[in-house]
Chain A
Amino acid sequence: MKKYFIATFDNEFDLKEATVEYRENKLKIMDAFTPYAVHGLDEAMGLKPSRLTKLCFLFGFTGFILALVGQYWISAVNWPINIGGKPWNSLPAFLPVIFEVTVLFAGLGTVFSLLVISRLRPGKVPKQFSTRVTDDHFLMVLSDKKGVLNEKLAESISIKHNALKWKLEGESE
């Protein structure tokens, strides 16, 4: 049995302040749901900086090396063709293609790794706690892997920060 504690706020400032206090009281934050990207919420939740940037660099670098070596091998080793009297290994002519392949690898690689990391696939039904987070509600969902949750504490913090409502929700696994 997995338990969720869902607190609803009507503005981002209350949500942010409450988030800081939940975290200070060692309550496990599952996620926050907001109508728009709230600046500073990631810091309040204590999220680590995204690791996607490193992946992006790695993908881009792979593309860079692949395009460089590939073009060199094709036009200087495997099938040399004289184009306009230029040397076979013409780095300036390779650069635009290197640039494009780097961008292509970095872009597609990052998007697909995002989908894999966040387990998004076509036809996936997301768990929705409230449909009003797409309109005017700000949700903070607390949960613990073991289903242990100090409900009283969570409730008192929510009241303190003007939560509109709060509830407990169970989910059988």
Chain B
Amino acid sequence: MDLNVNLDKKPVLSENVEKWLMGFIFVGLVILVGGLFLTPERIWSNILLNGIFLTALGFCGIMFVAIHYVANSGWDVVIRRVPEAMFKILPFGFAFMIAIAIGVGYLYEWSHPEVMQNDLLLKGKIAWLNPTAFSIRMVLYFVFWIIVGKKIISHSLKQDKTGDVRHSVLNQRWSAFFLYIGGIFFVGSSFDWIMSLEPHWFSTIFGMYNFSGMFTSGLAVMIILLVYLRKRGIFGKFLKDDHLFELGRYLFAFTTFWGYIWFCQHMLIWYANIPEETVYYIKRNIGVYTSLMVLNVCLNWVFPFVILLFKKTKRDGKFLVIASLFVIAGRWTDLYLMIFPSKYKTPVFGVIEIGMFLGAIALFLLIFFKAFSKSAPIPKKDPFLEESKALHT
């Protein structure tokens, strides 16, 4: 195999594409700033949605790397630089969420002390749900994810130069540490940022539910980027159909996992029929929201499931990209249904939602390609590289 030729080739976005991405980001920013004066609540909801979307992509990147270090897996080495570059969006997710911490009054009922004092049920939650604690926890989550994530990635990059096996061993330890604490923090973050939009309501599976959404959307983005980079010839012969097959199976499994968790939460609340729990679904089963709920399940589970049921489609870039696009649209719908019904009796959708989401995606792509072209496209001295190249499924 031609090692040198492929490894020195670097993906640089053409200036034209970069300009387009900048344009989308600019449009998103204009909508954001303009909207803040016209419909602040709607803009804040959108900032929250896109902030969580970007944070989840970054978190999924580093979590994907960490899981494969801990599991001692070899097949993922060839594609590892993609999730590593995805991680670079996490600080931008932090920026979005810092903004949320500042604009906490627009979104969260619990940020008003007088509301909390006069509500018997909310009174007991004051210790957890108050703006100071909210900000401290948010900073804690992000600082942990970013510092430990950077540590793992820096070891991986150092190994490119030295080829020292010690870096892999150390990374296994760091990864285990990250998965334990970072996973708990992820559950905490979804309780904090999304579930507390409706402070009376609670669901213990909510963290898991968000985890599945985070993982499916991260995998979908990873697959699309890999198919694109392969088409550009970045990986040469290193990236085979077999690697896509592994990712396709991941996506297939975790969209089904999402469906399973979604149904768990829905069915238990529907069956138990306890008023303090059903409020959540009553809000989401009125009018247009009902059809959005059906659309959500179709986009996140039914369509990807049917598309990826066959071995051939899981190995084929085209089908994988179609399924991934459904999943990304599904992730947006999923987050929309978590966030917006708490504020709006009927769904709002328009230029603001589309523009800001496209802006967020453009920001992600820009950051991703900048980060990806800084290092060699594959970890060329990883001890597992040979195993990854020889992957056969």
Chain A interface (Cβ within 8 Å of chain B)?
39-40, 49, 53, 84-86, 92-93, 95-96
Contact = CB atoms under 8 A, between A and B. Distances in A.
A19 B390 CA distance: 19
Contact of A92 (B271, B390, B392): B271
Contacts of A93: 267, 271
Contact of B267 (A53, A85, A92): A92
B266 interface: yes
Contacts of B390: 39
B273 A92 contact: no
A84 B270 CA distance: 11
Interface string B245-275: 0000000000000000001001100110100
A68 to B, nearest CB: 15
A49 B314 CA distance: 15
Nearest to B273: A84
B166 interface: no
Contact of B311 (A49, A85, A86, A95): A49
A85 to B, nearest CB: 8
Contacts of B273: 84-85
A59 to B, nearest CB: 15
Contacts of B263: 92, 95
A96 B390 CA distance: 40
A40 to B, nearest CB: 5
Contact of A96 (B267, B270, B311, B392): B267
Nearest to B260: A99
Contact of B270 (A39, A49, A92): A92
Contacts of A92: 263, 266-267, 270-271
Interface in B294-329: 311
B267 A40 contact: no
Classify the secondary structure of A's interface with B. Answer: loop
Given A39-B392, A84-B273, A96-B267, 4 more contacts: A49-B311, A85-B273, A92-B267, A92-B271
B205 to A, nearest CB: 15
The list of the 7 closest CB pairs from A to B, nearest first, reads A39-B392, A92-B267, A40-B392, A92-B270, A93-B271, A95-B263, A84-B273
Nearest to A85: B273
A97 to B, nearest CB: 12
B287 to A, nearest CB: 21
Nearest to A57: B309
Interface string B271-283: 1010000000000
Contacts of A39: 390, 392
A5 B126 CA distance: 81
A50 to B, nearest CB: 10
Contacts of A85: 273
A49 B392 CA distance: 15
A95 B267 contact: yes
Interface in B342-393: 390, 392
A92 B308 CA distance: 24
A40 B393 CA distance: 8
A40 B392 CA distance: 7
A92 B259 CA distance: 13
19 contacts: A39-B390, A39-B392, A40-B392, A49-B311, A53-B311, A84-B271, A84-B273, A85-B273, A86-B271, A92-B263, A92-B266, A92-B267, A92-B270, A92-B271, A93-B267, A93-B271, A95-B263, A95-B267, A96-B267
B248 to A, nearest CB: 15
A108 to B, nearest CB: 21
A85 B272 CA distance: 11
Contacts of B267: 92-93, 95-96
Contacts of A95: 263, 267
A95 B267 CA distance: 9
B256 to A, nearest CB: 11
Contacts of B271: 84, 86, 92-93
A58 B392 CA distance: 28
A70 B292 CA distance: 30
A78 to B, nearest CB: 22
A85 B311 CA distance: 44
